[in-house]
Structure 1
Amino acid sequence: MGIIQHAQCDILEVSAERNTVLHVAAEQGHDKLIRELYLRFKEQVLLSRQNSALDTPLHCTARRGHVRAITVLIQLAQDCGESILGCKNEAGDTALHLAARHGHAVAVKVLVSAAAEPTAEVNNAGMSLLYLAWRTYWPPDTAELRDDDGATFVHAAAREKQFKVVSLAIKSHTLRGLLDAQDRHGNTPLHLAVATGAPGVAEALLRKGKVRADVLNNDGHTAFDLAGGTTSFFTMVKLVVILVAFGAQLGPRRHDRLTPWCDRSTVENIHKTSDSLAVVAVLVATAAFTAGFNMPGGYRDTGEASLAGKAAFEDFVFLDAMAVATSVTAAILFVYGKASRSGGGSWKSFAWALQCMWVSLLSLLLAFHAALDSVVTSTTVHYGFLVVYVCMSLLLYRIQTWIGTLSSSPRRCTILRFLWQRCHSNGRHDGIFKRLYPLVGASVFHFFVFTIPSSIAFFCLARTIEIKPADWGLGTSSPAPAPSPL
């Protein structure tokens, strides 16, 4: 068997991942070997050499948190004039990103101290270098650090929607001064929270941080002026509700140039969804209409319903009629909304159609329960509707969380504060608000209206589901029957 001879190993590549010897030494934390390799192969420019993942030796040692190796690499790079602190790997991470992500606080301190001006760049995942450094390292040592845009870690946390980090800064008395700090563009953390669509962060800054909402940035905009830049309808509504609730004002501008907020994608989605929901509304109306002529219990010879006069049957008739009326109304509103040319008109018709649709579905469900209750006495029916009750409760909670009424932002107290501000606002400010955001007030109204029929339906369903202890196998405490007389 012949001997296979390989070429002489190259100092620049010693592994399949294109790692050099310096990469391996840095990953193992051999600071003395790093210095020796650099001195022996100085002309090879090993310090900034990247492997297949674009990692430099500094990336490798920062990932492991070898402080001495990091210090040696930084010193050698400074001596020869190489720039390695800002080098990014394939994921867009610098060495500081990796040290912060892996929780190496001492390594982060060394890297932050070596950087004259921490960069404002983010990695491919959108994580700011300054925010990651602060998250790993204790705030007093990095509170005064600013990136290339003059932003503090609070700016970075607000921009990246890091609610917990902003909350920690709010609770710290030593960091209170950073809450209203402006970067080189004049933006405060509140500006960035609103611009990036972070209602939770904005509410925390206003409610707990007591930040100023009237600060103008270099473009002459307050935080309120940036609320219209978000593309999500529900996010825009949340932000406007929060800002109005805490008395935020719009920046100075000409009133004749005010344009109402409008998202074309939202209008298009409404038109697309209306087609499907209109079909569903017609199906619900058909089912309810058919049930009205197929009465539970059948008919007498006189043509009257056999169960006429029974309470459960009367409930069925009322609820079935309610389902027919509301489903037909919903179908009409869906068609009218789609035919409407204005975005506001189509949205309002769509919102009312959804309300009617929800009422029709609840009415049809309760009508079905009343019909079964009037003709069936088995407890199995109650078990089935108990499962339906739980599932509907979870569905309602999920819907309300999605539209924002039960989510962490805005809180119910903030919504009530918004309504109070609207009732007591001056005519000029209220007119500007209605012109810019005509759908916000209607949205809050529909959020509250949505819960009314749901609460009524759940209350009625809970009252009708009566499961006795004996049905669960728990037994009863009723006395034993008396013996029959001889």
Structure 2
Amino acid sequence: MRPHLVLAKNFNGETALHLAAKKWDGLLVIIVLLQIHHNWLQSLPQNLQDANDLLRTKNERGNTALHELLLSDQGATAEYLIRQDPELSYIRNNKSQSALYLAVRSGNVDCVSLMLRLCSDEERVNQLFNNKSPIEAAIIYKSKGVLEAIFNTSPRLIKVKDGEGRNPLHFAASLGHLEEARYLLQRYAPNACKRDKNGMLPIHLASFEGHVDIIRLLLQDFPDPGELLDGDGCNILHVAAKSGRYNVFSFVLNNPHLNYLINMQDKSGNTPLHWASMYFNLKIVNTLTWNSKVETGTVNNNEQTALDVVEYYMPHNPQFRQRLTWAALKAASIPRNCSKKRASSRSKITGSYKDRVNTQLLVATLVATITFAAGFTMPGGYISSEAGTNSGTATMLRDKGFHVFIFCDTIAMYSSIVVATVLIWAQLDDLKFTLTALTLAVPLLGIALTMMSMAFTAGIFVVVSKLKWLSTTILAMDISFVAILVLLLLPLCAPLTSRSRILRYLSYYPFCWLVHLSTN
């Protein structure tokens, strides 16, 4: 074999050494190739030797032969190459993965220990841990044995920070890997008090990701989370409010020693309720508004209450979740302290409510028309004029199902007429009056729709009552649909924004159902 052919590459940029590294039985071939290449290099001038180094040659993916060995989990052969050239541990591929990173990811304790022992340049090792940190890989893949190998070989690495200023405990807390976090805490507890470039402690990252077990672990050594603040003065509840981690709130609210956190203000004066409102985290907002320990009227440095914050950040066409967040705060009697943005968009809000008024007016008119017509087309018809004194009366007059039909149809018609009348008054250009009209009209319209459905059910049942199997089937089917209708109408008709304590309690479960729907 001609020595210079050892450096020849195929279409994927792979040398013979790369190809041999992919074979499980390629160790002997690798040894022979390296010996041939070594002998050939000796015949070259010094300035050409580095440029023709076979071990450091990369393929199209940026992998050296050592990368390929570690990717195919050939630890013994990889150790041979590491001893041949320890510098290979520093080389990164196109994904910025060093050979050391791949060794950690594959859980190869022997290769990791060997690399760290042979890598004498501390500055270059630190660079490896600043970007695509091997420690991060060990935590991601839960390789506790590799972590022990890293810190036993180079204890100083437990203090090394990545490009964002995060130490190993930050990684474990962010990922929620409890055993690895416990090991790191036992190994070097002061890391729990080290901040990253954003001023975040490990406990803040755990809170942001909702890892309650990590929070509980970190609080064992640092029991006062009120002192554990990030660069903006936020505690773990502020952070959880931003990311919507309800489980963190449940943990804190169920722990009497931590309840004081719920009213703490950050540097901007925002409480957890402010932050949850700002990010429209509905479930958290709803829970806090029902908690008697929460001071709902607190204002921030901009003189804004939580309701002000919601109205300031709410878009002109809010999503359902955003509307419910506003409703939860309104029902909790949280005051307004400023309304600059709302005043500027008053005309758009008025237009939105007018559309709702027109839609409901149309539905009410249709219900009134249908129920009026049903009142004169009775199920079963009328007794003919030849029947004497009973002429013109309904043939089913004595039937109980007919009585249900009459009652429901009458209630539906008059309810819809009242709704139509109220909504006609709502056409006046008065936002407050429009809101009052809608508050009254929506429940009545819900009653009208329900009664109309029940009237239809009763009418059909009366007509087919002689055939038992058919009447039973129709009744069961119609009752199911009416139940679904009521379930859908109940949240719409419930006084969700009422500040009356009684009405608020009555609408609690419908509101919780809406919260569940909007958060899932």
TM-score by length of 1: 0.63
CA contact (8 A) 1:59 1:98 kept: no
1:32 aligns with: 113
**8 A Cα contact 2:442 2:492, kept in partner:** no
2:474 counterpart (384, 390, 413): 384
| Structure 1 residue 330, shift from structure 2 partner | 3.9
Do structure 1's residue 116 and structure 2's residue 199 form an aligned pair? no
Per the alignment, do residues 70 and 286 of structure 1 end up closer, same or farther by CA in structure 2, a change over 3 Å counting?
farther
* Counterpart selection for 2:261 from 175, 178, 190: 178
Contact 2:289 2:328 in 1 (8 A): no
- Residue 128 of structure 2 aligns to a residue in which SS? coil
State the 1:163 CA deviation.
Answer: 3.2
The 2-side partners of 1:74 and 1:341 are apart by: 74
Q: Which amino acid is the alignment partner of residue 75 of structure 1? A: R
- Say if 1:209 and 1:163 are closer, same or farther in 2 by CA, change over 3 A: farther
1:362 corresponds in structure 2 to: 450
Q: Distance in 2 between matches of 1:341 and 1:73?
A: 75
Q: Secondary structure at the match of 2:120?
A: helix
> Cα RMSD (Å) of the superposition?
4.8
1:63 to 135, 140, 144: 140
Q: Secondary structure at the match of 1:360?
A: helix
Distance in 1 (CA, whole Å) between partners of 2:366 and 2:162 is: 72
SS in 2 for 1:179: helix
TM-score, normalisation: structure 2: 0.60
Deviations 1:267-306 (A, max 9, x none): 5554445555554444433432332332222233316134
Which residue of structure 2 lines up, in the alignment, with residue 22 of structure 1?
100
Contact 2:365–2:416 (8 Å) recurs in 1? yes
1:234 and 2:324 correspond: yes
Cα deviation 1:3-36 (Å, max 9, x = unaligned)? 9652455576447872321220232344424524
The answer to whether the aligner puts 1:293 opposite 2:376 as a matched pair is yes
Of 135, 147, 150, 2:212 maps to 135
- Counterpart code for 1:389: I
Q: Report the counterpart of residue 210 of structure 1 in structure 2.
A: 293
Going from structure 1 to structure 2, the CA distance change for 1:196 and 1:383 (only over 3 Å counts) comes to same
CA contact (8 A) 1:85 1:95 kept: no
Q: CA 1:229 to 1:388, structure 2 compared with 1: closer, same or farther past 3 Å?
A: farther
Q: Per the alignment, do residues 146 and 84 of structure 1 end up closer, same or farther by CA in structure 2, a change over 3 Å counting?
A: same
Match of 2:32 in 1: none
Residue by residue over 1:315-373, the C-alpha shift from the partner in whole angstroms, topping out at 9 and shown as x without a partner, is 43343233333334445655664x44344344433444433332222222222233234
Instruction: Give the % identical residues.
Output: 19
In 2: Cα distance, 1:36 partner to 1:264 partner: 72
> How many angstroms apart in 2 are the aligned matches of 1:358 and 1:403?
7
Change (3 A) 1:115 1:445: closer
Q: Is the 8 A contact 1:228 1:236 kept in 2?
A: yes
Q: Secondary structure at the match of 1:47?
A: helix
Cα distance in 2, alignment partners of residues 259 and 326 from structure 1: 34
Does residue 284 (structure 1) correspond to residue 373 (structure 2)? The answer is no
2:400 is the alignment partner of 1:320: no
Label 1:60 to 1:258 Cα distance change in 2 as closer, same or farther (>3 A).
closer
Q: Distance in 2 between matches of 1:270 and 1:103?
A: 55
The 8 Å contact of residues 134 and 153 in structure 1, kept in 2 or not, is answered as no
The number of residues matched between the two structures is 398
2:450–2:486 contact (8 Å) kept in structure 1: no
Taking CA–CA contacts closer than 8 Å with sequence separation of 6 or more, which of the two structures ends up with the larger relative contact order? 1
Contact 1:281/1:328 (CA < 8 Å) preserved in 2? yes
Question: What does residue range 72-87 of structure 1 map to in structure 2 within 5 Å?
Answer: 75-76=156-157, 83=163, 85-86=165-166
Counterpart position of 1:419: 500
Say if 1:10 and 1:276 are closer, same or farther in 2 by CA, change over 3 A. farther
Contact 1:299 1:306 in 2 (8 A): yes
1:148 maps to 231
Q: Distance between the aligned counterparts of 1:419 and 1:283, measured in 2? A: 33
Q: 1:100 corresponds to which letter in structure 2? A: G
Deviation track 1:51-76 (CA, whole Å, cap 9, x = no partner) reads xxxx5434322212343367578934
Aligned partner letter, 1:241: A
Q: 1:38: Cα distance to partner?
A: 4.7
1:59/1:362 CA distance change after superposition, 3 Å: same
The one-letter amino acid paired with 2:116 is R
Structure 2 CA distance for partners of 1:38 and 1:145, relative to 1, 3 Å: farther
For residues 468-483 of structure 1, the aligned pairs below 5 Å read none
Aligned-partner Cα distance in 1 for 2:407–2:485: 25
Distance in structure 2 (CA, Å) of the matches to 1:206 and 1:329: 35
3-state SS, counterpart of residue 39 of structure 1: coil
2 CA distance for matches of 1:299 and 1:190? 64
Conservation of the 8 A alpha-carbon contact between 2:174 and 2:209: no
| Distance of 1:261 and 1:101 partners within structure 2 | 49
Partner of 1:99: 175
How far does residue 264 in structure 1 lie from its aligned partner after superposition? 7.0
Gapped runs of 5+ residues in structure 1?
A: 88-93, 422-442, 452-486
1:108-144 deviations in whole A, cap 9, x for unaligned? 746981662256589xxxx955434862322334534
Counterpart in 2 of 1:344?
A: 432
Mapped pair 1:374 → 2:454? no
Q: By how many angstroms is 1:151 displaced?
A: 1.5
CA change 1:385–1:78 in 2 (3 A) is: same
Are the equivalent residues in 1 in contact too, given 2:367–2:449 (CA < 8 A)? yes
Would the alpha carbon gap of residues 218 and 375 (structure 1) be closer, same or farther in structure 2, given more than 3 Å must change? Answer: closer
CA distance in 2, matches of 1:98, 1:355: 47
Give 1 or 2 for the bigger CA radius of gyration. 2
Classify 1:193/1:164 alpha carbon distance in 2 versus 1 (closer, same or farther; 3 Å): same
